[in-house]
């Protein structure tokens, strides 16, 4: 799913003290908002440090995310959910994704801004959970409605 259509207004601070800054995440940044890949376990700390510094530079907080270990996404050896400085190993990407979304929902955490659309699509479409604190994103509503219409068409065929 594409990143937010609008630019994200970042908080004041970071490297440009006092200035209001905007960020329009790329597709790659959106993808890496909740899932990053490391080729070997030794890359994990470097990836976490880079991600944490990047968020800090923009005045944002590092939110929980998934780290996959493997040479590519088709050869995943391990999956972790990273929360602050702790990594929890899970048996698969699906289990890691499930735990990650449960953490976001139980602790009422804000989704990473760069992949907010994707996160709400999963929350509303897959888990069918709505909360009072949900951001109202028309693009996600439209996508879910289109998916439901396509599903009905397939069932009628």
CB 117 within 8 A of CB 3: yes
CB 81 within 8 A of CB 103: yes
User: Which residue's entry shows tokens 């040479």?
Assistant: 71
The model's pTM is 0.82
Where along the chain do its domains lie?
Answer: 8-156
Q: Which two tokens stand for residue 70?
A: 């493997």
Q: Measuring CA to CA, which residue among 137, 133, 126, 62 is closest to residue 98?
A: 126
Kindly state the DSSP code that residue 114 receives in the 8-state scheme. Answer: G
User: Residue 151: what pLDDT?
Assistant: 84
User: Residue 5: what pLDDT?
Assistant: 47
CB 58 within 8 A of CB 113: no
CB 7 within 8 A of CB 22: yes
Instruction: Please state, in angstroms and rounded to a whole number, the distance separating the CA atoms of residues 119 and 65.
Output: 12
Find the helix or strand (DSSP H, E) in which 100 lies: helix 93-106
Task: State whether residue 46 is helix, strand or coil.
Answer: helix
Q: Mean pLDDT over residues 38-56, rounded?
A: 94
pLDDT digits (tens, 9 = 90+) for 94-148: 999 999 999 999 999 999 999 999 999 999 999 999 999 999 899 898 999 999 8
CB 71 within 8 A of CB 39: yes
Longest alpha-carbon distance in the chain: 59
Q: Is the confidence at residue 10, as pLDDT, over 80? A: no
């Amino acid at each position: 799913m594409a990143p937010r259509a609008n630019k994200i207004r970042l908080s004041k601070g970071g490297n440009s003290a006092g200035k209001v800054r905007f960020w329009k995440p790329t597709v790659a940044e959106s993808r890496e908002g909740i899932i990053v890949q490391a080729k070997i376990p030794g890359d994990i700390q470097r990836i976490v440090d880079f991600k944490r510094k990047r968020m800090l530079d923009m005045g944002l907080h590092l939110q929980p995310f998934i780290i996959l270990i493997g040479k590519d996404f088709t050869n995943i050896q391990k999956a972790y959910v990273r929360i602050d400085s702790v990594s929890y190993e899970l048996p698969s990407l699906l289990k890691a994704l499930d735990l990650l979304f449960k953490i976001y929902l139980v602790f009422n955490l804000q989704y990473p801004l760069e992949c907010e659309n994707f996160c709400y699509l999963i929350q509303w479409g897959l888990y069918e959970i709505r909360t009072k604190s949900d951001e109202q994103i028309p693009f996600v509503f439209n996508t879910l409605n289109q998916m439901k219409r396509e599903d009905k068409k397939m069932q009628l065929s």
